[in-house]
Structure 1
Amino acid sequence: MTYDVLTQQNARKTLQRLTGIEWSTWQYLNRNYNKEQFLSDEDYVKRILDKEDCFLPAFRELEFTFGHITTSSTACESIRNGGLMKLACTNKVTELGLFLSNHDVDINIEQHTLKYNGRTYDISFGDCPPVHNREEYAAWRVGRKLYYDYCICGFLSYSKQPYGGYIHKRPEILKDMGELLNTDLAAEWVTTHTPYEIVVRVSADKIVYDGRNSDSEQEKVMNYLMKAYWCSFSDMENVILLKNDVEIQICDILNIRPFDMWR
């Protein structure tokens, strides 16, 4: 079952799809929602589901649609040809990997090293060094992106405010590399690349569940049902993370299009 809250209209369709309750009914119920009578929005929605005798699907049946924001100077040619790869900066087939190679940045994942301009930097991800140790801290931040925070991620829904990492301007790791190598790689990227949205669909078993590990199947569905409910009435940011080893094949990409929401 498709779960898609990328837009307010899609969220309304998903809310209806998950519950079987028509959107016109949700509109009516929301207009007559007295928050003082309920502990929370979730308590209110559960009351509606009980009253309407709804049976939610199992979490494992959901297929999540999300937007992965990237930047490109080739209309995402490498993604169109090879999908979304983890650790894209280490693969010369990708636009980012080729960009770094052309600027003589050499990353060796196995040896935990980054070579540039005749120097070799240790980018192992261990204990965080003090911020005032500028070079060590910058190397640690690069290592964090490569050995810890490297999964493919995206947005189930968007806020009108840009994401804090400014991924619609340049890859976050370029900023970290710039601070380590004292270069303007990030600034160069910004002037030559424009933002794109890669619309992807993945099965529930490929995502990192946004909740407690102890949650039951129904509690998991309820968690995402509430996101659909809130997105149906307002703009809000919901981030989605894929499991570390998951990559996106071409067949799982629904659309690649320019992204101008945060300009």
Structure 2
Amino acid sequence: MTYDVLTQQNARKTLQRLTGIEWSTWQYLNRNYNKEQFLSDEDYVKRILDKEDCFLPAFRELEFTFGHITTSSTACESIRNGGLMKLACTNKVTELGLFLSNHDVDINIEQHTLKYNGRTYDISFGDCPPVHNREEYAAWRVGRKLYYDYCICGFLSYSKQPYGGYIHKRPEILKDMDELLNTDLAAEWVTTHTPYEIVVRVSADKIVYDGRNSDSEQEKVMNYLMKAYWCSFSDMENVILLKNDVEIQICDILNIRPFDMWR
């Protein structure tokens, strides 16, 4: 079952799809919602589901649609040809990997090293060094992106305010590399690349569930039902993370389009 809350209109369709309750009914119920009578929005929605005798699908049956934000100077040619890859900066097939190669930045994932301008940096991701050890800390931040924070991620829904990492301007790792190498890679990237949204579908078993590990199937689907409910009536950001070994094949890319929301 498709779960799509990328836009408010899509969220309303998803809310209706999950519950079988028409959007016009949700509108009416929301207008008459007295928050003082309930502990939370979730309690209120559960009351509606019980009253309407709704049976929710299992979490594992959901197929999530989300937007992955990137920047490109080639209209995302490498993604169109090869899908979304993890550790894109280490693969010269990708736009980022080729950019780094052209600037003589050589990353060796197996050896935990980054070579540049005749120097070799240890980018192992271990204990965080003190911030005042500038070079060690900068190398650690690069390593964190490569060995910890490297999964494919995106947005189930967007806030109108830009995401804090400025991913619509340049890859986050370039800023970390600039700190380590004393370069201007991020600034150069910004002048030649524009933002794109890669709209993707992925099954529930491939995402990192945004909740308690102990949650049941029904608690999980209720969690995402509430996101659909809130997105139907308001502007809010919901981030989605894929499991570390998951990549997106071409067949699961639904659209590639310019992204103008955060300009």
The TM-score bracket by the shorter chain reads over 0.9
Distance 2:159 2:78 in 1: 28
- Helix, strand or coil at the partner of 1:86: coil
Q: How many residues align?
A: 263
In 2, the alpha carbon distance for the partners of 1:58 and 1:135 equals 48
TM-score by length of 1: 1.00
User: Which secondary structure does the structure 1 equivalent of 2:196 belong to?
Assistant: strand
Over the aligned positions, Cα root-mean-square deviation in angstroms equals 0.2
Counterpart of 2:159 in structure 1 is: 159
Aligned to 1:91: 91
SS at match of 1:53: coil
Q: Report the Cα offset of residue 203 of structure 1.
A: 0.3
Displacement of 1:86: 0.2
C-alpha distance in structure 1 between counterparts of 2:260 and 2:119, whole Å? 39
Measured in 2, the distance between the counterparts of 1:33 and 1:262 equals 33
Q: CA deviation at 1:100?
A: 0.1
TM-superposed deviation, 1:129: 0.3
Per-residue deviation, 1:167:
0.0
Runs of 5+ in structure 2 lacking a partner?
none
Structure-2 separation of matches of 1:23 and 1:128 = 49
Partner of 2:197, secondary structure, is strand
How many Å apart are 1:200 and its aligned residue? 0.1
Secondary structure, counterpart of 1:100 in structure 2: helix
Structure 2 distance, partners of 1:123, 1:240, is: 26
Shift of 1:207: 0.1
1:182-237 C-alpha deviation (Å, 9 max, x unpaired): 00000000000000000000000000000000000000000000000000000100
Paired with 2:45 and 2:178, the residues of 1 have a C-alpha distance of 48
Q: Distance in 1 between matches of 2:260 and 2:124?
A: 36
Quick one: distance in 1 between partners of 2:46 and 2:128?
A: 43
1:122 to partner: Cα distance:
0.2
Where 1:126 maps in the other structure, the secondary structure is: coil
Is there any run of 5+ residues in structure 1 with no aligned partner, and where? none
Secondary structure of 2:202's counterpart equals strand
1-side partners of 2:223 and 2:159: how far apart?
Answer: 19
Give the drift of 1:99. Answer: 0.1
Q: Tell me how far 1:67 sits from its aligned partner.
A: 0.1
